[in-house]
Structure 1
């Protein structure tokens, strides 16, 4: 159970090469064969939550700052990335403990929390109060604003300091790989 293991929070800059390699390895294992270098890049530059069983990393999740445009505002958004728990430790409360810590961080630092969910993880996020984005999604690309219709059903938000209309339009800042 996670009660026997603490959730460690650290910025990417404070993680040693071995911890970063273990986190990437865990994500590769959990999301095989879909984990890409860009997906890993999206996890970096923010805060990581890590759960270990002894010396072995069994859980990882990160929160990074992004700007999402909604309702005429650029919202400072805590975007959740790389949520993974080793297969044999899933349903032990590790994911919930890491997510709770990320939500605590988001409540203190951001206007909105958001994430892109896999179909399998939707029940997990909705059970923790995350709401599906019902409106259209877009990306602010180097070539202008482009529709991301394929993402319309996979974006979830946790409204924090700023009220949002989840049936409205949401525009993500640009990044390589999967924009959302």
Structure 2
């Protein structure tokens, strides 16, 4: 029997945070950096537990995305992963259901950046591929992030968007998206 939990970073204890970090390190084959970890903190975490074993995680953090002259309050998804031996059993869907509940209840827009090969999972859930240019509002101005195009998805809640328009994310250390 699995248990899905949602909690803000401030409500998680050291053992839970360590379990999340361990899961993310394994799921991203050691390519989950300290900066990536920082991006996943400060918001609401959805976790899936099987007894005392963490098998799934995702977080939604607030960001500002600029589109069509507006700064949109955006629930940005980070650190989405399911333990390799438990994939394909609905645990990722359980994580996403909880994160989407938070996005729909608190934000104008949901957004995420994904790796190749998993886009069908998100589109089946109603997420839309961003088809326009992607940019970041860097310290030196707006800079296009072409390497991220084709991997950005949005979930419109209250925001009116043109998915072929320009989408600009706020600046942060590490990966812009």
Q: TM-score range by the shorter chain?
A: over 0.9
Partner of 1:135: 132
The CA deviation at 1:125 is: 0.8
Normalised by the length of structure 1, the TM-score is 0.96
Q: CA RMSD in A?
A: 0.8
1:76-95 correspondence to structure 2 within 5 Å: 76-95=73-92
Aligned pair count reads 177
Distance 1:24 1:77 in 2: 24
Deviations 1:91-135 (A, max 9, x none): 111110110111111111000000001112211111111110000
Secondary structure of 2:118's counterpart equals helix
- Residue 61 of structure 1: which of 58, 64, 74 is its match? 58
Q: Provide the C-alpha distance between the structure 2 equivalents of 1:21 and 1:120, rounded to a whole number of angstroms.
A: 28
Structure 2: give runs of 5+ residues left out of the alignment.
none
TM-score (norm 2): 0.98
CA drift of 1:6 comes to 2.2
Which structure 1 residue ranges, 5 or more long, are not aligned?
none
Is 1:18 matched with 2:15? yes
SS of the aligned residue for 2:117 comes to: helix
Measured in 1, the distance between the counterparts of 2:142 and 2:131 equals: 19
